[in-house]
Amino acid sequence: MENTELNLNNKRVALHTLGCRLNTSETGSIAQGFKDRGYDIVEFGQPADVVFINTCTVTDAADSTCRNLIRKAHGSSPEGKIVVAGCYAQMEPEKIAGMQGVDLVLGNSEKYKVFEYLDEESENAIHVDKSWQFYGAATTTADSHTRAFLKIQDGCNYVCSFCIIPFARGRSRAITVADAVIEAKKLVSQGFKEIVLTGVNIGEYEQASGEKLHDLVAQVLAVDGLERFRLSSVEPNTITDELIEVLKSSPKVLDHFHIPLQSGDDEILKAMRRKYTVADYKRIIGKIMAAFPNAGIGADVIVGFPGETKEQFDNTFNLLKELPMTHFHVFPYSKRKNTTASKMDSHIHSTEKKARVKALNMFGDAKLNLFSEDQIGKRTKVLFERRNKAGHFEGYSSNYVRVQVVTDQNLSNVEREVLITGMDNGKLVGELLQ
């Protein structure tokens, strides 16, 4: 995070976010809270009076990364207070509290009360409960993101056999449509051009709120001054024809979607307790491509689920080859305590899981390169973020491909139309048209 006007008399806070865009939105709100209380925000790794780490626990690797970050925070700020919050804190509070330097461990509800706990002189370092209130959150100007993430939903009522998130986040709950519109207007007034709606499972919005997701989307799209709009990850079984129609009807909607797959084999999907079949998934992707022919589509994929055979992995590979997927997010299955899958037989050896991850990642890189090359000669609107090391301004196209242009102008948080002229080191190169 950038802050060029540090006041040496102010306290300093460093924040770090792991995991999903939901975590990003929450850290943004908490960062604003620190700023409102007179803190200067410094880069993580710099000396600070408070270090706030918002954690993830979706995999073993995420847990390990959290622990490494705690060690780094203690090394850079040995006299500072280290606050560890979020999903990993919710699930393993005692383990985290026992690490050197940790002062506070806050669960997913308690992290919003961080300022109260910092003011207390208490020997109790752990504050974790399961009240599961809904706390709204959004990116703020205290954060360093160009696009804004607006939290509309939290928790999940699904019981996927591999997933620990319902234990870490609780049951599904959501913001009202009216409040979502108020928050969207605030974000636009702060200068954000793009809003991404986020949550644990935003497709459950209607079940959690009693209101329609497509109505919320329509009202946010109607906010004056909003230029770009996207949804974060949406479960395929929750994408309705009404939602697609609302998205298709607005020029503000970007042609980029993230639709979790997890597996391309029906037996594995059933064992995972997913709520769709391969045929269902194909049908949804077909509807999206009919509405957005140039769309970039990302998918989460888990490989090495217990009992996954070579043939079942090949089914996933071949499905991703068949479908117009452009952005692969591949994870090796990770055993999570108390989940049904952790108690299954026939766990796949880590060496085989790594090989399958590598194969899919290499294929995904090749598909993204082909998709990127197909953009050459086309026009697209790019929301620019920052200069790269080569001095060129970079941003993302509407279908979420990184684009760079040569310019002396400061294009930070500026949307411009660009003609894509070529590729350089895997990135699209363009010329400004306006």
Please name the amino acid found at residue 36.
D
Given a contact cutoff of 8 angstroms between Cβ atoms, the answer to whether 172 and 206 are in contact is no
Q: What is the DSSP string of 390-422?
A: TS-EEEE-TTS-EEEE--SS--TT-EEEEEEEE
Does 185 reside within a domain?
no
Residues 6 or more apart in contact with residue 397 via CB below 8 angstroms = 375, 380, 381, 382, 403, 418, 420, 428
Return d(Cα 81, Cα 51) in angstroms, integer. Answer: 6
For every residue of 221-272, which 3-state class applies, written as one string? HCCCCCCEEEECCCCHHHCCHHHHHHHHCCCCECCEEECCCECCCHHHHHHH
Given a contact cutoff of 8 angstroms between Cβ atoms, the answer to whether 158 and 171 are in contact is no
Q: Domain with 414 in it: what CATH number?
A: 2.40.50
Share of the chain above pLDDT 70, in %: 97
Residue where a domain stops, chosen among 80, 104, 127: 127
Residues 6 or more apart in contact with residue 256 via CB below 8 angstroms = 230, 295, 296, 297, 298, 398, 399, 400
Q: Is the pLDDT of residue 3 over 50?
A: no
pLDDT, tens digit (0-9, with 9 covering 90-100), for 206-264: 999 999 999 999 999 999 999 999 999 999 999 999 999 999 999 999 999 999 999 99
pLDDT, tens digit (0-9, with 9 covering 90-100), for 132-143: 777 787 777 766
Q: Domain with 58 in it: what CATH number?
A: 3.40.50.2300
Does 109 reside within a domain?
yes
Given a contact cutoff of 8 angstroms between Cβ atoms, the answer to whether 129 and 109 are in contact is yes
Does 78 reside within a domain?
yes
Please state the rounded mean pLDDT for residues 73-80.
Answer: 95
Residue where a domain stops, chosen among 97, 127, 157: 127
Please name the amino acid found at residue 22.
L
In a 3-state reduction of DSSP, which class is residue 69?
helix
Does 281 reside within a domain?
no
Does 54 reside within a domain?
yes
Residues 6 or more apart in contact with residue 178 via CB below 8 angstroms = none
Does 101 reside within a domain?
yes
Q: Is the pLDDT of residue 98 over 80?
A: yes
Does 291 reside within a domain?
no
Return d(Cα 236, Cα 239) in angstroms, integer. Answer: 6
Residue where a domain stops, chosen among 127, 151, 178: 127
What's the structural domain count of the chain?
Answer: 2
Question: What residue ranges in 143-189 does DSSP mark as E strands?
Answer: 148-151, 153-154, 173-174
Return d(Cα 420, Cα 285) in angstroms, integer. Answer: 26
Sheet order of strands, 81-86 included: 40-42, 12-17, 50-55, 81-86, 102-106, 126-127
The residue range of the domain holding 412 is 379-432
pLDDT, tens digit (0-9, with 9 covering 90-100), for 255-280: 999 999 999 999 999 999 999 999 99
Does 396 reside within a domain?
yes
